Structure 1
């Protein structure tokens, strides 16, 4: 026992061995580093390991001293040096390397800039091109045949008209799509109802399809895909979105929501968002509000859900390495490890961070910071961490901002006055650039197609139909001056989509020597006039369908009309339509 640095008294060999085993069994060993007896860990509490070069402790009965009664746990603890408070060394303020000049391609690509007369409809067709429309026509007809539908199969001009009608319904909103074909003239839409019969629109809505159900892999099989029903659309739009616009230097990654309250394993609940229930979509947006990339969140993966935010960021930024882009995102994604990894790829990033994240420095408590004061740290990797005190504390991480840069922002006081408050330059840049996805959402929600459906994927399809219009609108604004409103742009796209079918119907009517019949509406008479018994008298007129007893399956015609209501009504010995029409039911 000459190697022992101390003597233990009053302990037997068995007691000492048991006590030592208990201590070492409770400890969690970490890999040994020869330079130090400490090893940095990703956990909040640093793990401690004795230097493995220390000679092994061998106890014998002859080494015990009955006069020493100190517990072994205390003696062993005294051997271990106290670790530093912060093992990540958030101490010295080191200037990060600033971003270099941005020389990569950005903005509209030549495929768009070289277009002749880029109208709203032509720009929209860059995303919903004929190849995608032909695929929709084929899959819709295939599904109709699989369902043994007896209706006439569709064609590309009819599908385009169907899409154009839906875009127009986003501007002219009614409670139900059938209201556009209502026989009541106060809510009927003559333009939409004249483009397509309601039965045909309903048939297209029921049979509309994007992928073959017969070939869909079942859950548990290889290549199972929760988004199988919309996958062809997502692939086509992802390629077309990137083909038309190169990403700007400043980018934002944030989430967007597709409203859906039905049953679906993809549905998410986010109580703090304006849209609380629906599908979550990750968006990579340019400075002008253009959706550069997207990805629908399909729920927890079978492996681990840890580091979800980091995996989303790396996936969205794939292909943008070594190009000096500046990316902003919120505290759902941000962490020290992520910024260090992006820095190695020459991607500059900044964002708010959750203060409970591991490896963050120890900031002062809120009570020790006044409004406008902030605390800043940097680590050896040149990651800068800020805590700024406003009405609440804001935590920020950046891998390219200077820890010394400051600016002033305006803040309103309780009495309505405005005061200047000092804040880090990093936070000011974050607030100035973090609204790119909000621009996209704002344009999309102005006239979006907001129709309930039992088919879970219909909401996703119409969301991306609106997204294609928004991206085309951004392209149009970059190419044209003066600007037009989103409403006028959407109308122009809709008119371009329905033009083929309108021209086709006119040619058909002209070749037959006929005029297109105008839809006859069921008359709407205010009750005050209809039930005024004193002034209604029958008159003879041209033979027309009775407004009371005639139906679509059984037409009943009459020569009599009401002199006040001007509606055709049956009048005879066995017919009481005239009297019944003017009587309270």
Structure 2
């Protein structure tokens, strides 16, 4: 259903817009029954104040699998919106997001979008066990950073909503170097020029400040492009300075602008969440439901598919498989769907409508009254000497599920079989 988008789920079984890849798998009533009754917890059990108790078991089963995935060196923590406009106390409104209404999820992923951990926002975020309380945004980062292995010297990136000096210090004490944009009022002891003053000096102007908190050195750089942006880090600084191309409206041509190293690192390795959102949005499951937690369940299905595809691409690259022989996300998603649809099916049967088992059907027919014996399958299908002859008396056709009477009889099998423009039981009986 994520590949063939229709406005209503019932339309997949309709006469006008029937989709055989969906309608042939199960009936419409069976599908609606499954969607109506699917749940992930005992509704009679106490919720203990957990707003996510409806999907808590699903979250607890996914997190260990995500956390066990091999990690790259560059990791980032960002916000992700799950589109939802129904009634729910978990629904958030963020005007700067492409999807402004929905559930907010904090995601730890790499630069390609591979998810290693997540946390659904359900209100105030308490500090993780054994961690200091450094504010709601900082607690989220420390909670997700618990799964960082540290075997390849991971570097952690995040945006200004999470950044604070206390967070940089807490991560440094855990041995995790960090980098992120930050608001100027969150940098105690660091002052920068106003945007108006830096604009007079021209694009590419930057200033660097240093702050030492509890023995941890934090460097902050303000760079002016179209506007001023401040980036702080415990492992990077402004040097070395490189150059980037920017369009000059006055000169109407590209010009070279100085760019500090810390800015380039942020722009290069903070795109993991955007890549994840773009991959999920391509073939998102759009199924309407009155239950608020169904939207989260469908989103996790999309997230798992994208994660699986990214791991598949990683394995293909390690095995030196050419890019043209690798499946794209659509082909991979279709192959997963087909494999799930064929699970438990008898693959030895031929394609097409199910073939009739003549012997079993004939036994059912014998119980309804006396019936003449029929030859075995080997005799019926040997294609030797089976000629239709015309008898004077009509008799009931011996082909299963045929109630007609005919004068045609097989000369070898000695049974009556229909043979006319509407029914060709003679041929079907001998196939």
TM-score, normalization by structure 2: 0.74
The correspondence for 2:337, drawn from 481, 487, 494, is: 494
Shift of 1:191: 2.7
Shift of 1:505: 12
- Within 5 Å, give how 1:217-228 maps onto structure 2: 217=47, 223-228=48-53
Shift of 1:434: 0.3
1:432 equivalent to 2:260? Answer no
The correspondence for 1:320, drawn from 144, 148, 152, is: 148
Q: Which residue of 1 aligns with 2:116?
A: 292
Greater Rg by CA: 1
Q: Which residue of 1 aligns with 2:8?
A: 176
**CA 193–400 in structure 1, closer or farther in 2 if over 3 Å, else same:** same
- Within 5 Å, give how 1:156-195 maps onto structure 2: 169-184=1-16, 187-195=17-25
**1:458 aligns to what SS in structure 2?**
helix
Contact 2:105 2:119 in 1 (8 A): yes
Shift of 1:512: 5.4
- Within 5 Å, give how 1:171-570 maps onto structure 2: 171-184=3-16, 187-217=17-47, 223-243=48-68, 245-300=69-124, 307-320=135-148, 323=151, 324-369=153-198, 370-380=202-212, 381-414=216-249, 416-480=252-316, 481=321, 482-500=325-343, 502-503=345-346
Q: Which residue of 2 aligns with 1:111?
A: none
- CA deviation string 1:394-432 (max 9, x = no partner): 011111113433111121222652111102100101000
**1:171 aligns to what SS in structure 2?**
coil
- Give the Cα–Cα distance (whole angstroms) in 1 for the partners of residues 313 and 165 of structure 2: 38
Shift of 1:347: 0.7
**2:55 aligns to what SS in structure 1?**
helix
Contact 2:117 2:147 in 1 (8 A): no
Contact 1:265 1:299 in 2 (8 A): no
Shift of 1:288: 3.0
Shift of 1:379: 1.9
Contact 1:396 1:427 in 2 (8 A): yes
**1:385 aligns to what SS in structure 2?**
strand
TM-score, normalization by structure 1: 0.55
- Give the Cα–Cα distance (whole angstroms) in 2 for the partners of residues 275 and 253 of structure 1: 19
- CA deviation string 1:165-198 (max 9, x = no partner): xxxx1111011111111112xx221231111111
Q: Which residue of 2 aligns with 1:137?
A: none
Contact 2:189 2:211 in 1 (8 A): no
Shift of 1:203: 0.7
What 5-or-longer segments of structure 1 have no aligned partner? 1-168, 218-222, 516-585
RMSD over aligned Cα atoms: 2.5
Report which stretch shifted further, 225-234 or 359-368.
Answer: 359-368
Contact 2:125 2:136 in 1 (8 A): no
Contact 1:321 1:345 in 2 (8 A): no
Contact 1:407 1:425 in 2 (8 A): yes
Shift of 1:506: 6.1
- Within 5 Å, give how 1:110-189 maps onto structure 2: 169-184=1-16, 187-189=17-19
Shift of 1:487: 0.6
Shift of 1:256: 0.8
- Give the Cα–Cα distance (whole angstroms) in 2 for the partners of residues 424 and 235 of structure 1: 42
- Give the Cα–Cα distance (whole angstroms) in 1 for the partners of residues 185 and 356 of structure 2: 74
**CA 230–510 in structure 1, closer or farther in 2 if over 3 Å, else same:** farther
- Give the Cα–Cα distance (whole angstroms) in 1 for the partners of residues 328 and 137 of structure 2: 36
Contact 1:330 1:352 in 2 (8 A): yes
| Structure showing greater relative contact order (alpha-carbon pairs closer than 8 Å, 6 or more residues apart) | 1
- CA deviation string 1:211-237 (max 9, x = no partner): 1111132xxxxx331111111111111
- Give the Cα–Cα distance (whole angstroms) in 1 for the partners of residues 348 and 41 of structure 2: 30
What 5-or-longer segments of structure 2 have no aligned partner? 362-431
**CA 261–485 in structure 1, closer or farther in 2 if over 3 Å, else same:** same
- CA deviation string 1:21-60 (max 9, x = no partner): xxxxxxxxxxxxxxxxxxxxxxxxxxxxxxxxxxxxxxxx
- Give the Cα–Cα distance (whole angstroms) in 2 for the partners of residues 211 and 509 of structure 1: 39
- Give the Cα–Cα distance (whole angstroms) in 2 for the partners of residues 416 and 447 of structure 1: 39
**1:377 aligns to what SS in structure 2?**
strand
**1:442 aligns to what SS in structure 2?**
helix
Number of matched residues?
A: 339
**CA 259–475 in structure 1, closer or farther in 2 if over 3 Å, else same:** same
Contact 1:321 1:347 in 2 (8 A): no
- Give the Cα–Cα distance (whole angstroms) in 1 for the partners of residues 80 and 305 of structure 2: 16
Contact 1:444 1:466 in 2 (8 A): yes
